[in-house]
Structure formats: C-alpha cells, structure tokens
C-alpha cells in the first residue's frame, strides 16, 4: 500500500510540504438562527488505521488513513492554523464536496470552485450553504439519511471525511517564496508581530491557540477528566455538562471485545459507520480563489481518508478511553467565555452551493434535542483576522 503524502504529528495531519489540518471539538449550535463562531474545545485525538490491523474492520484497512472518536451529534471544525505554504485543499464529507456540493472527483475545479484556498482560509466549520454563512459539521450514523452524503446523493456508502491537498506548481511556488522573502525584508512588522493573511498569532484562534498546536482550556472552567493522548491544555469541562444524545442501539451498543478466529487470532468486528450531517448556521466566508488555475500543481501532494468512530468502537479498537462527552453550550456562555467573529478585508466570499443550501439539519431527521439558548453578550464576541518533516507517514488505500 502506497504512502498518502500525509503524516501524523500529535493530533495534526501534515499534508504534503505546506498544509496542516486539525480536527477541533466545539459547541453544537442551535439549528435556528445565525450565530458567531463557536470556540475550539481541544483537538480530537487522531490514530493511524494501520496501527490497529487486528481490531479495525478490513474495509478500513483497505482505505487506509486515520480515525478519530466522535459522539452522536457532536460538532467539529477544521483548523488550518499551522499551514505554511499556499495549498488548494479539497474537503469531502462522505465524498461530497463541502464547498461545491458536487460528488468527489479528486481533481480541482473552478466552475464551481471545489476547494479551499490556504493560507487565506484559516478554518472551516461546515458546508458552504449560504451567503457568508456555513452550516456546522455534526456527526451522525449512516443509514438514517441525515448525512450530507445521504441528502445529496440519495445513498450512504462512504461516510467519514476526505482530504486532498494540491500545492502550487514549481514556478508559482518559487514566485510566492520570493515575494514572502521580499515582504519580510521590506515590511516592518507591526507591533506584536506581522503574519501573512490566514495565519493567526498564538492565542487569537477560537479557543485560544498556543505554540506547538492545540487549543488550551478556556479560563474559568474546570479541566475535564483525563483522556487518552489529550490535546495540550485539554478541552474545558463544564458544570453539569449535558450528556450526548443517545444513538440507535445498533450504532452505539457496547462491544463485548473481539471474537477469536478458529486459529486463535482476533476477528475485527464491524464498527458503526459514521458521517457528517449539519447543524446550525454561523457567519463564515468560504474564500474565492484569486490565483490562476494553472498556478496549482496538476497532481495532489497528499490525500487521506478520515474515519469517524463511535466512542465504544474507539475503546474496543484502540484500548483507549475516548474524550469526555461534549461541553454544554449554556454553561459555556453563562461562564462569560468568548465566541468569535472573523473578518478578512481582502478576501472575497465564494458563492454558496445551491445543492448544499438544501441540506437539512440533523434535527429534521433525528428529532430535536435543543436545550434553551441564550445569545452571548456583545462583550463575549472576540474579533479575529487581519491579524525535516516530523511525524509518522499515513498509508493510502482505495476509496
């Protein structure tokens, strides 16, 4: 099996030579109204599928990639804060493009644009479903029709998240590097340090970014119970956090441990298939590419399949405890902790996908479980913006 051009460093995915992706835990938004950006509450732990050949399902091994544990209806966002060089990043949810709403093709497209532009895009919280807004990524089991994949294609066969990164071509990359060197020589950094667009200084990302990756605990909330391989600082706990909603028994039944082959070897159990549906709407732009199409490399530098794992399956496959259940958003807001609003004066919003605009939130499929909601006060909204390879390689497979 060939390497994918992806490496795992801690809980970060390094794609090719320039891009970095981290999967962030966050507060799930109400499905009505439009909201500010929720905080980052720590990283999801990542593990390579190939490291668990005796306990992961055979089809996962065939696809390769990585896996992370996620609760039913838990929300997530993708952080690109460690990206160092321009990258065209494709994001698939069940092999449906989260930007264009079209089926995964593996090739860059401009009409419609089917990729994000890094470094310009600092993060992605959901599908490109509105003008200046996205609908939040929310985990749901396959088989109920609630995923983006199910609603767009009419079937649920892929699940998970797919990432593919295209670097700049050799000439365009050399030109960009020279421009960066010239900028560093001629532009005096503003007080506090100047950074390229799309690169946020430590402490300014939602949840408070810190050098070395990961988001620390928000001040004023107690630390959660310890988890296996926690992110630096760990996600914040909350007084009386709301438990995760119950999933269908078939998806969330506790596993009794691996069975044994007749020859004594373990037989990997099937794991519940998980995908991404959508939740509430938030203010976030998906930026239009202002480069020429020929500037990008014709072949990707990296691609990876990200499997979403239920907590019981994570425990059985890895032998590790999953992170604690998601924090309650009412307790977070009541504690006076920050929400965020990002603004980039030079960025042009990409038009929303008509297909993705029709995707309904998971509450329409699974039933509502909304707790009472109180908007954060204006003082809780923090403005952001205008401000040798380590790790283990990840194997690629057939997907």
d(Cα 133, Cα 125) in Å, to the nearest integer?
10
Q: 124, 344 in Cβ contact below 8 A?
A: no
d(Cα 228, Cα 322) in Å, to the nearest integer?
7
Give the bridge partners for 110, in sequence order.
Answer: 113
Q: 296, 19 in Cβ contact below 8 A?
A: no
User: pLDDT tens digits for the chain (399 residues)?
Assistant: 677 799 999 999 999 988 999 999 998 888 888 988 888 888 999 999 999 999 999 999 999 999 999 999 899 999 998 899 999 999 999 999 999 999 998 899 999 999 999 989 999 999 988 888 999 999 999 988 889 999 999 999 999 999 999 999 999 999 999 999 988 887 654 433 333 434 443 344 554 432 223 333 333 333 333 333 333 333 333 333 333 333 332 232 222 333 323 344 555 667 778 999 999 999 999 999 999 999 999 999 999 999 999 999 999 999 999 998 876 656 666 656 556 665 555 667 667 767 877 777 777 666 666 655 566 666 666 665 544 456 788 888 888
**Count of CA atoms in the C-beta half-sphere (13 A) of 377:** 5
Q: pTM value?
A: 0.71
Q: Dump pLDDT digits (tens) for 260-277.
A: 233 445 556 677 789 999
Distances (CA, A) of 118 to 37, 86, 125, 145, 167: 19, 5, 15, 32, 10
Work out whether the CA dihedral 289, 293, 297, 301 comes out positive or negative: positive
Q: Dump pLDDT digits (tens) for 21-40.
A: 999 999 888 888 898 888 88
Q: 165, 119 in Cβ contact below 8 A?
A: no
């Amino acid at each position: 099996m060939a390497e994918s051009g992806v490496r795992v460093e801690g809980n970060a995915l390094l794609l090719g030579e320039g891009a970095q992706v981290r999967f962030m835990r966050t507060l799930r938004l109400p499905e009505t109204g439009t909201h500010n950006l929720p905080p980052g509450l720590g990283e999801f732990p990542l593990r390579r599928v190939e490291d668990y050949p005796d306990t992961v399902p055979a089809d996962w091994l065939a696809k390769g990639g990585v896996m992370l544990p996620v609760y039913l209806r838990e929300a997530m966002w993708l952080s690109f804060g460690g990206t160092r060089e321009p990258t065209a990043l494709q994001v698939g949810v069940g092999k449906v493009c989260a930007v264009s709403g079209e089926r995964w093709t593996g090739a860059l497209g401009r009409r419609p644009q089917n990729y994000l532009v890094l470094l310009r895009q600092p993060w992605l919280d959901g599908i490109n479903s509105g003008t200046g807004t996205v609908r939040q990524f929310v985990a749901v089991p396959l088989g109920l029709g609630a995923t983006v994949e199910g609603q767009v294609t009419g079937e649920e066969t892929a699940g998970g998240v797919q990432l593919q990164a295209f670097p700049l071509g050799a000439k365009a990359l050399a030109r960009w590097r020279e421009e960066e060197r010239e900028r560093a020589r001629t532009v005096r950094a503003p007080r506090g340090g100047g950074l390229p667009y799309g690169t946020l200084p430590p402490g300014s990302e939602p949840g408070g970014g810190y050098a070395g990756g990961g988001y620390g605990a928000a001040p004023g909330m107690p630390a959660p119970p310890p988890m296996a391989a926690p992110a630096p600082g760990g996600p914040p706990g909350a007084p009386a956090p709301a438990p995760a909603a119950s999933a269908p028994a078939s998806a969330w039944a506790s596993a009794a441990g691996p069975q044994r082959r007749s020859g004594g070897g373990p037989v990997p159990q099937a794991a519940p298939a998980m995908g991404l549906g959508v939740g509430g709407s938030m203010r976030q732009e998906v930026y239009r590419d202002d480069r020429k199409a020929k500037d990008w490399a014709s072949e990707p530098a990296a691609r990876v399949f990200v499997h979403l794992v239920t907590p019981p399956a994570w425990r059985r496959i890895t032998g590790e405890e999953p992170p604690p259940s998601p924090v309650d958003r009412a307790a977070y807001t009541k504690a006076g902790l920050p929400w965020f609003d990002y603004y980039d004066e030079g960025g042009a919003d990409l038009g929303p996908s008509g297909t993705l605009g029709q995707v309904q939130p998971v509450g329409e499929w699974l039933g509502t479980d909304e707790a009472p909601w109180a908007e954060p006060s204006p003082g809780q909204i923090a403005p952001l913006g205008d401000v040798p390879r380590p790790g283990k390689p990840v194997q690629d497979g057939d997907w």
